[in-house]
Structure 1
């Protein structure tokens, strides 16, 4: 595996910092206006994904703290290490797995039908052979 060039790493860092800045600004605006603070609200306001907010520990902590202050905390524990129910990657992989399972089930059904046909032909040939040998 070839190493990632420095200019690409720097571009990634700059993009991440800009995204964090937008999220912090959105959080501050929500708090200032008294709007309910949630991961979804911050993500919409900042134009970022909820996955990004959950992965960024500092932003996650701030959002959870403000959400708890406003009393909009969810019923689920807030200290989970990941929130797979909102993870776009998990949803995409689940959808892909479902499609693969459906394709597998169709292939198994086709193979079973082909096996039934082959077994029928085999039985027919054995019967013909038995009549030939008997006669």
Structure 2
């Protein structure tokens, strides 16, 4: 394969820099506003592909560091010391429900992360297969 002319290489590098800047800005905005951070959310906000984010080591590290599941804010049970007429049984069930919700959130987070990794690997394998088929 012949190398690209210098002006096309420069244009490609500039396009990549703009996309990286949009992705960093989108990530910062998601973190600042407290919205859930994921590869999909950053890609959507920055108008880039998730593949682009997965293949950029710096962006990937930043997104993984800030990754949060959707709806990760745990439910706050009622404070029994406020003189609430809530019975002990209702408080116990509320606490149990909160623990179950947290466990489900953690499981969903783990599964989403595994799915994102699998999708990235799948895309990479498809591209590699495509290169081998054209030979």
**Bigger radius of gyration:** 1
Residue 65 of structure 1, CA deviation: 0.3
Classify 1:16/1:81 alpha carbon distance in 2 versus 1 (closer, same or farther; 3 Å): farther
RMSD: 3.3
* Aligned residue runs from structure 1 range 1-135, under 5 A: 1-67=1-67, 73-75=109-111, 83-85=120-122, 87=123, 90=126
Q: TM-score, normalised by structure 1?
A: 0.56
The structure with higher relative contact order (CA 8 Å, sep 6+) is 2
Q: Which protein has the bigger helix share?
A: 1
Runs of 4+ residues deviating >6 angstroms: 69-72
Deviations 1:16-62 (A, max 9, x none): 00000000000000000000000000000001000000000000000
Deviations 1:70-106 (A, max 9, x none): 778433569x698224x38838x79xx9xxxxxxxxx
